[in-house]
Structure 1
Amino acid sequence: MSQTKKKIHYAWWLLVGLAIMVGLAKGGIMTAGGLFLTPVTEDLGIGMGSLTLYFSISSIVTMLFLPIAGKIMAKYDIRVVLISAIILQAGSFAMFGLMNSVWGWYLFCIPMSIGSIFVTQMAGPVLINNWFKKHNGLAMGIMVASGGIFGAILQPMAGNLISNEGWRTTYITLGLVVMAIVIPIVLLTIRMAPQQKGLQPYGALEGDKMDKNPAQTVTNRGVTASVAKKSSAFYSLLIFFFFITAISSFGQHVAPFAMGLGYDVKFAGSAMGGWQIGVLIGALSFGVLSDKIGAKNTAIFAMLLGLVPVGILLLVPENALMFNLAIGIYGFVVASLGTLGPLLTTALFGNKEYSQIYASAVIGLAVAGIVALPGYGYIFEITGSYTYVLYAIVTMLILNVIAIVFAFKGKKKLENAGLWN
């Protein structure tokens, strides 16, 4: 019996595998994209708005493919799905290094975004909800924090590699390294459900082994997807996803913002490393805070805190120390997207049909990408600065506080109507 208690639940090994996969895919590929914008536009003579349009195409593909992604994950072996997805994502990213025209980014961002849906958006929240009934917030925080850990290492490395070897070599190197590490990790650690290992979810029962009596297995509570999608809580959550994604999207523009102020690509890489350290600390903090004070209060705190770095960037962006501090705090705040987005979904609608509800809600994420990422690029191209972008971010942070309050009022309506059970 003592040996059983000492044994580490497999959920934690799965979390390690998820953390490495998500960390490399986000920190090594997705958030590194901004470092390439200025070198590519200068080398190939492409406008910033025209190049960042590929982010918009990626978001359109994400929005269209999300409903299909949920069905694919439910139907096929999760390991086959994730291996295929990382090949699409990292392989397409590597192909950018061979392109000479902006059309190459427009073309290869399509398979890259399809792969990214599974690896960076869907797999983590769905698997953690399957495997963790206890410390769900902490597990989500650890997974999101992994992007900060890997990003803090890889972003400065990528900045130096771009400076020393060029953007082409850096694209190819990052893509191949991510594939080489993630594929064996997926094979060794990822499983869709605890039942595949003869276990209950972590924290579901006193013992880890599956009980042979089905009546004693854990039941999920909440609302159905059809009910959720008609509720004011759902539309408020959709708005939250839209604005927090638009706020987070500024990360892709930190490097051109820095270089527009006179900093070089190495400094931009270091600043993005600070962003990732902020993500690391924020993800862990928000996970623990949500377990302690709830997802609602934690999300409101995160949005209000976001006003601090934006204020610094508006007032003293030329001060290198303050710039780095602001970017670090900004990274801390945007960790709320990966951590609090899934936790808010669970808090509002439960686990009954979580994957369907979450897949629908994150369409707000895709729509924001369509608008914000190229929009920021065109604003910079037209005005020569990011000042108006920063003012827009202040507005979105405030609107998100309002959206959170309305979302939980909507949940109360569902409970009062007897639809939350």
Structure 2
Amino acid sequence: VGWRTAFLVMAAFIAVLALPGALSVLCLKPSRKGLLPYGAVAASVQEEAVESGLSEKKSAGKSGFLSPAFPISILFALLCACITGLGQHFPGYAEHAGIGAAVGALMVSASMVGNIVSKLILGVLSDAIGPFRSCSLMTLINCGALLALSLLPVRGSLLPLVCAFFYGTIYSVAAVGVPLVVRFVFGPERYDAVYGVVAVFTSCGGALGLSVIGYLYDFFGGYGIAIGGCAVLGAVNVALLLVLALLRKREQAAGPEERSGKISVQAAEELS
């Protein structure tokens, strides 16, 4: 039906499926909507408990911003998202390599299949070997696919499709791995506050990577530098994961008393 009609169909699906959730208003307190909470007899006690828990969580979240792991987590998420920008340039890469835009479109599809499969695998691996090892493994697979795409001769359509499939593992790290790593590093009490900031940089990284890769193509007349650069960013991300793992281990070695003591002192200062 043509790409214009296809885009209109996509827009309709987005409007039907996403817009109602985006426009709905969520409230923590029923009183703000003129309602009583379920079990209204004990409502005041429950409300005090909820407010106390939210206050402690807010204090814990602020302590996460002071951790050296916070800027490293932001950089990790930013670089992961930057690499995901390459997938949208696969049609241009295929045309430049002389294998046709149709193969490039199939490469995009192959990377999306790799995206779905790797997300499921990453979730299972994270439960089995932890988020650091599983994210490192997926990132290394992505690096291998990028190096193969950059160094091996492009003949036919099979090799580019295989590389695109394994390239899709980076989507699992950006979408599933980043929140898992942040939650593991900062703990559930600081996760909400910290990940809210990290997620902003994930979105920025996707837009940045897409644009920079386009400019690199214009400047160098090919995608070789961009693909090699994405592989380098992947190697940097593996190093960042190692640093985050070491920081997590150091925090665990500090003992729960010291960690909770820091949070309690900060909470007391806030209340005063």
TM interval, shorter chain, is 0.7 to 0.9
Q: List runs of 5+ in structure 1 lacking aligned partners.
A: 1-160, 199-212
User: Once the two structures are aligned, what percentage of the paired residues are identical?
Assistant: 19
When the two chains are superposed, the root-mean-square deviation of aligned CA atoms in Å is 3.3
1:245-260 aligned within 5 A: 245-260=81-96
1:64-83 aligned within 5 A: none
Q: Which of 191, 209, 221 is the equivalent residue of 1:354? A: 191
Q: Which residue of 2 aligns with 1:380?
A: 217
Alpha-carbon separation, structure 1, partners of 2:88 and 2:106: 14
1:394-413 aligned within 5 A: 394-413=231-250
Q: Tell me if structure 2 keeps the 8 A contact 1:228–1:234.
A: yes
Q: List runs of 5+ in structure 2 lacking aligned partners.
A: 29-37, 39-44, 264-272
Relative distance call for 1:192 and 1:237 in structure 2 (3 A) is farther
Q: What CA deviation, in whole Å up to 9, does each residue of 1:390-413 have, x standing for no partner?
A: 111121111111111111222334
Alpha-carbon separation, structure 1, partners of 2:215 and 2:19: 37
TM-score (norm 1): 0.50
Q: Which residue of 1 aligns with 2:267?
A: none
SS at 2:242 equivalent: helix
Q: Which residue of 1 aligns with 2:64?
A: 228
Alpha-carbon separation, structure 1, partners of 2:126 and 2:259: 24
Q: Tell me if structure 1 keeps the 8 A contact 2:82–2:210.
A: yes
Q: Which of 125, 139, 145 is the equivalent residue of 1:289? A: 125
Which segments of structure 1 move beyond 4 Å, counting only runs of 4 or more? 181-184, 219-223
Alpha-carbon separation, structure 1, partners of 2:27 and 2:145: 39
Structure 2 residue 144 is the aligned partner of structure 1 residue 304: no
Alpha-carbon separation, structure 1, partners of 2:74 and 2:18: 31
How far the C-alpha of 1:327 sits from its partner, in A, is: 0.3
Q: Which of 324, 330, 346 is the equivalent residue of 2:167? A: 330
Q: Give aligned pairs, total.
A: 239
Q: Which residue of 2 aligns with 1:114?
A: none
Structure 2 residue 255 is the aligned partner of structure 1 residue 419: no
How far the C-alpha of 1:291 sits from its partner, in A, is: 1.0
Alpha-carbon separation, structure 1, partners of 2:199 and 2:19: 26
Q: Tell me if structure 2 keeps the 8 A contact 1:232–1:407.
A: no
1:88-107 aligned within 5 A: none
Q: Which residue of 1 aligns with 2:181?
A: 344
2:77 aligned partner, one-letter code: F
Q: Tell me which protein shows more helix as a share of its residues.
A: 2
Q: Which residue of 2 aligns with 1:278?
A: 114
Q: Tell me if structure 2 keeps the 8 A contact 1:241–1:341.
A: yes
How far the C-alpha of 1:283 sits from its partner, in A, is: 0.3
SS at 1:173 equivalent: helix
Alpha-carbon separation, structure 2, partners of 1:346 and 1:325: 32
Relative distance call for 1:356 and 1:317 in structure 2 (3 A) is farther
Q: Tell me if structure 1 keeps the 8 A contact 2:174–2:202.
A: no
Q: What CA deviation, in whole Å up to 9, does each residue of 1:166-191 have, x standing for no partner?
A: x433322321233234457x59xxx9
Q: Which residue of 2 aligns with 1:103?
A: none
Q: Max radius of gyration: which structure?
A: 2
1:308 aligned partner, one-letter code: G
Q: Tell me if structure 2 keeps the 8 A contact 1:309–1:326.
A: yes
Relative distance call for 1:396 and 1:192 in structure 2 (3 A) is farther
2:65 aligned partner, one-letter code: K
TM-score (norm 2): 0.75
Q: Tell me if structure 1 keeps the 8 A contact 2:147–2:228.
A: no
SS at 2:236 equivalent: helix
Relative distance call for 1:339 and 1:364 in structure 2 (3 A) is same
1:385 aligned partner, one-letter code: G
